[in-house]
Amino acid sequence: MTVGPLTSLPKALEPWEPELRLFAGDLAPIVGTLSARLSQAIGPLRVQTTTPSDEPNGYSSLSRRGPYERLLASEWALQLESPDEFVRRASQGEQLFLELERSVSASSMEAWLLMDCGPSQLGAPRLAHLAALVAFSRRAREAGLLLRWASLRNWDQPPQLEFTPGTLSEWLTARSPYAPTAFDASTWSNQLPTRSSNVVPDVWLVGGPSVVPFAAAHAWSSVVVNEGADGGQLGVRISAGRRRPVELRLPLPEQRQQVRLLRDPFTELPKPKPPTPKRTSRVALHPKTRLAFSHDGHRLFARTRDGGVTALPVRNTARASYGLPKTFESSDLVIAAWWTSRRNRGVVVSRNGEVWERDWEGRLLGHVSKVALAPPTDTDMFRSALGSARGFQTREGWFDVASQQLQPGRAVCTAEHRVVVVTDFDGTAVLPDSPNVYVARVPTRAPTFCSVGRQALFAWRHGGALTLVSAPFKTGAANGPAPPPVVTALFPAGAREWTWPASTFADYEPGALVDTWTTPGVLGLNKDGVTVGVLTSRGETWQWVNEFRARAPIEALVASANGQLVAWRDEAGEVGVYSRDRAEIVLRVGVDDVTKERP
């Protein structure tokens, strides 16, 4: 384990340096401050070097108190000569008695600390245990003793005698699903030295309120820790012998420091990297670019003016900070893009008539195909699928990398490992059987839509009406039975079908499909051109629910794979993202400069 050098401590914490030097430099003052507050309430350890005995060892001195068997002979003589004076001296406490000398035996002390690792003391209360362990370690060190410390339930193991990163790490990871019991305390009591051994143990219990009866039963001291209701402080009650209990409040550090103290308080944080220079160059999008979400919905792809592609970060909320977009710039023709993580992102490009994959920094990743493909327009924005459904979208349909075959399609939707291809009813599937690719056939020349959720979603318009099918991906042939161009068609087992009449779309033009936890929905653009709504079920009825309004007529509209994010581009050049989960617009930028947000 790496232990970083201790930075300079405040003057008040310098006596704690032997214990605090084990911790990371930025955490040592935090632990020291908590320990100092506990140490002040606990008090020093008063070491006993001798123990009085009941065995007499002659006479030591005279005393004005004692039994009349030890009354001096001169006092008895006074009783014979002057009884009244004898009575007076007795009533005034002026008589003298012989004081016995008691034998004294040498003794030593042991410092013991037993801590509760049960469920009530996990999390923030364990920080008070750590501070108490440091406080008792210094207390024993100043008294010239070793601290014996252990978990209250680990009575089958010897106590720890060392205060090192190794022993502390072992204790920090100790967990018990059970609260301590009277049996645990009694077992430890039987292991402690007895009075006949001339060793006096100073035993402290640290835990929740359940340890108080155990401490009282064995005449031990206790440190009781309670987590405050506000979560920002810990309540501590210290009871030692006949002293009046002391109560105090320990303020907790910030959340990130709490986690480090409980997981690894010894390793220094890496030095921060020098800040990267702020980007000043603008990233301008093609004014008519289409949009596409990454598979996880965290990025929005768009075409740039110079033929590249940029990935705009999508925030969780409108109040979160907005990072800079990541742009891919190359002389190669960009076909598709993908982004699943910072380590797994890239683009598919056409280079000298062949298809290659590049990472986002422009380095070649590998050769994909020599098949000649129709180039995309400067506004198309397609995605690539990974894993068992590896391939990418083109203007002609879906290209499967493994088989080097192109499936013509009028609509293609991709998830990270799944693909839905919508083709004409009279078309012939050319892709091999795959449980991750679903080929749907719809009537020829009918407007189509598709989406990938937990199942394959596809829909088509016919005579103004719209039919939507939700079909499961299944092992075996990817091409299920072809649905005839009527709404009473039979679909594969598990598929569901919905049909809405033309009157449903009198005010909204369907543009995409969204998947929900109940039933699929249809994303539509109102005839006013700026209002976007979703057709969802309300019990037995279906109705349009308005989601958001753009500032200008919308020209491009797209939904994420899970249907919870909707992106648009309007004729005024504004690109926005709306979160259906949070019911708020989380991003607004302009195509002329996506590095700057619009108010």
* pLDDT given at position 134: 93
Alpha carbons within 13 A on the beta-carbon side of 498:
18
What are the φ and ψ backbone dihedral angles of 185, each rounded to 5 degrees?
Answer: -65, -40
Token pair, residue 582, equals: 């949070």
* pLDDT given at position 480: 43
Answer yes or no: pTM beyond 0.75.
Answer: no
Average pLDDT over residues 164-168: 89
CB-CB contact of 285 with 302 (8 Å): yes
Under the banding of pLDDT at 50, 70 and 90, the label for residue 133 is very high
- Closest alpha carbon to 327 in 361, 375, 356, 363: 361
Under the banding of pLDDT at 50, 70 and 90, the label for residue 429 is confident
Is the four-CA dihedral 249, 253, 257, 259 of positive or negative sign? positive
CB-CB contact of 256 with 277 (8 Å): no
Q: How far apart are CA 559 and CA 546, in angstroms?
A: 15
Could you report the per-residue pLDDT of 257-278, keeping only the tens digit for each? 888 898 889 888 877 766 555 5
* pLDDT mean across residues, the chain: 85
Which of 197-206, 473-482, 534-543, 563-572 has the lowest average pLDDT?
Answer: 473-482
The neighbouring-strand residues paired with 229 are: none
* pLDDT given at position 553: 96
Alpha carbons within 13 A on the beta-carbon side of 341:
3
Average pLDDT over residues 405-423: 87
* Sequence letter at residue 501: P
Going from N- to C-terminal start, the domains of the chain cover 11-47+107-263
Report for 93-97, 106-110, 570-574: range of highest mean pLDDT: 570-574
CB-CB contact of 34 with 128 (8 Å): yes
Residue 230 has pLDDT above 80, yes or no: no
Could you report the per-residue pLDDT of 207-224, keeping only the tens digit for each? 999 999 999 999 899 999
Question: In 147-254, where does DSSP find H-type helix?
Answer: 165-172, 182-191, 212-217
Q: What angle do CA 429, 415, 427 make, to 5 degrees?
A: 15
Could you report the per-residue pLDDT of 490-503, keeping only the tens digit for each? 456 678 888 999 99
Rg, Å, the chain Cα set: 40
Residue 164 has pLDDT above 80, yes or no: yes
CB-CB contact of 191 with 156 (8 Å): no
Distance from chain centroid for Cα 549: 35
Could you report the per-residue pLDDT of 297-336, keeping only the tens digit for each? 899 999 999 889 999 999 988 888 888 899 998 888 999 9
Name the 3-class secondary structure at 85: helix
